[in-house]
Amino acid sequence: MSRVLVAGGTVVGAEGSVRADVLVDGETIVALLAPGTELAAAAAAGAERTVDATGKLVLPGGIDVHTHMEMPFGGTFSHDTFETGTVAAAWGGTTTIVDFAIQSKGSTLGAALDAWHAKADGNCAVDYGFHMIVSDVNDTTLKEMDTMLGEGISSFKLFMAYPGVFYSTDGEILQAMQKAADTGATIMMHAENGIAIDVLVAQALARGHTDPRFHGVTRPSALEGEATFRAIQLAKVAGSPVYFVHLSATEALVEVARARADNGNVWAETCPQYLYLTDDAMEGPGFEGSKYVCSPPIRPAGHGAHLWRGLATETLSVVSTDHCPFCFKEQKELGVGDFSKIPNGLPGVEHRMNLIHAGVAAGHLSTERFVELTAAAPARLFGMYPRKGVVAPGSDADIVVYDPAATDTISATTHHMNVDYSAFEGQTVTGRVDTVLSRGSFVIDGGRFVGRAGHGRFVRRGLNQMLR
């Protein structure tokens, strides 16, 4: 469809909200028009379709900068393909994902990028980009961090956890950060002290503590706080920007707040599971607790309230999902009798927008901050703004018509993610996605998915646009 008018709604951006009709031509937003004016009437007359957004919010399409589709982990793969995962994303009002290509130890970043393009290209229902996980920092990969920029990969994830798999030493982290300081790339950090955690895991298993809840016990929040502090110091020495992924703990939040108050190029995201769930979830009957095993782990009560406050006060900059779904049957069950073998990760890409909008209804956030956290800030931090993350002339027509008053109940029986449970089963949220356009094409329309796998296009990202 070439000309679409989204009429009568309230357009929400990070900086404010305005009543406006949004005119789309082809893949692009061409104008915001004052409703009821001659110009708006002319636009309506010339449009092939008018979407009535009266009483609704008109949001920039959500951007989830942390997903893992078809990710290899512990002898299995996360269960959403790029097709099923991006269809689920669209249902939830997310029109861009940034997934992680993974360099295997001994291989190259180039090979990882090729492998992830092979999985995603032609299969995505919405737009997608990649970060790069660097598992092997060496002279070759450090050079490849330069060439990756030309491929639209401007962010590199390093792990202080998972020794022997993804883990990098402090020296390797420093070298990668020095490279990022030279090029303007952003280092993304999984901050948990994996060396200490591995000792605690071995000790727990030796005592016969094999249930899922010991996943949480052996990854204490102090070890996330310690790793966060250490990474901030390394970034300061290197002069590099650092972005903490899936921040879960008060101790880590305090470190990020301190670094940001010092004017550091330091940012962090959190995820809905850390805002809504507590470690009680891992105590469920039988092996149910395995459904909530992710790293960092779901924390005890108290951390979540601090994270909501961190979102409101700008210590935290983004909400992503870390969508990494493993079915309960046969996948999570790989860890029966040994919690350390439970594949780590939770499903969530479909429900991020509703779960964070529920924070508006609960009084934690303004509607504008909701948009900033879920679309505008991820676009700026990962080099996609203003093409993405804003409803403005010249931007891609990634638009969500959102009913802020409707309520919905999350359930695995109705979700579209390719996984047999929901981490938020039975939770009622305020807000519902009505209509979704991705680059001007209808993807969700009248309660139906009308998009197609292959519509989604690779987004070549530029550098972080929030450097101070």
388 binds ligand URP (CB under 6 A): no
* Smallest separation, CB 100 to ligand URP (Å): 7
* Smallest separation, CB 248 to ligand URP (Å): 10
Contacts of 318 (CB under 8 A, 6+ apart): 65, 267, 268, 269, 373, 377, 378, 381
Of the ranges 20-28, 166-174, 319-327, 460-468, which one interacts with Zn ion (CB under 5 A)? Answer: 319-327
Compare residues 24 and 271 and give the one whose CB is closer to ligand URP.
271
322 binds ligand URP (CB under 6 A): yes
377 binds ligand URP (CB under 6 A): no
Q: Which amino acid is at 315?
A: T
User: Could you give the C-alpha distances from 327 to 279, 290, 344, 349, 420, in angstroms and in order?
Assistant: 20, 10, 11, 15, 5
Q: Is 449 exposed, middle or buried (0-12, 13-18, 19+ CB in 10 A)?
A: middle
The owner of tokens 């269960």 is 79
190 binds ligand URP (CB under 6 A): yes
Total residues in contact with Zn ion, by rule CB under 5 A:
2
320 binds ligand URP (CB under 6 A): no
Q: Is 119 helix (H, G, I), strand (E, B) or coil?
A: helix
101 binds ligand URP (CB under 6 A): no
Compare residues 68 and 461 and give the one whose CB is closer to ligand URP.
68
Compare residues 158 and 391 and give the one whose CB is closer to Zn ion.
158
Compare residues 26 and 72 and give the one whose CB is closer to ligand URP.
72
For residue 266, how far is the Cα from the chain centroid? 17
Compare residues 190 and 213 and give the one whose CB is closer to ligand URP.
190
* Smallest separation, CB 83 to ligand URP (Å): 20
Site for ligand URP in 51-80 (CB under 6 A): 68
For residue 359, how far is the Cα from the chain centroid? 17
Compare residues 224 and 396 and give the one whose CB is closer to ligand URP.
224
Say how far apart CA 347 and CA 321 lie, in whole Å.
8
295 binds ligand URP (CB under 6 A): yes
Q: Is 100 helix (H, G, I), strand (E, B) or coil?
A: strand
Strand order in the sheet with 441-445: 17-19, 10-12, 57-60, 399-409, 428-438, 441-445, 448-449
179 binds ligand URP (CB under 6 A): no
* Smallest separation, CB 57 to Zn ion (Å): 29
Can you tell me which of 83, 99, 255, 322 binds Zn ion, judged by CB under 5 A? 322
Chosen from ligand URP, Zn ion, none, partner binding at 352 (C-beta under 5 to 8 Å by type)? none
Torsion angle of the four alpha carbons 190, 193, 199, 203, in this order, in degrees rounded to the nearest 10: -80
- Report the DSSP beta bridge partners of residue 186: 155
The owner of tokens 């094999």 is 210
* Smallest separation, CB 68 to ligand URP (Å): 5
Closest C-alpha among 355, 339, 330 to residue 292: 339
The owner of tokens 């670094």 is 259
Total residues in contact with ligand URP, by rule CB under 6 A:
9
Say how far apart CA 119 and CA 113 lie, in whole Å.
10
Other beta carbons less than 10 A from residue 182's beta carbon: 14
Per-residue x/- marks for ligand URP, 249-288, CB under 6 A? Answer: ----------------------------------------
Please report the sign of the dihedral spanned by the C-alpha atoms of residue 440, residue 441, residue 447, residue 452.
Answer: negative
Of the ranges 19-27, 109-117, 322-330, 404-412, which one interacts with Zn ion (CB under 5 A)? Answer: 322-330
Compare residues 269 and 396 and give the one whose CB is closer to ligand URP.
269
344 binds ligand URP (CB under 6 A): yes
Compare residues 91 and 159 and give the one whose CB is closer to ligand URP.
159
| DSSP conformation class of 67 | E
- The binding site for Zn ion (CB under 5 A) comprises 190, 322
Which residues would be at the binding site for ligand URP (CB under 6 A)? 68, 190, 246, 294-295, 322, 324, 344-345
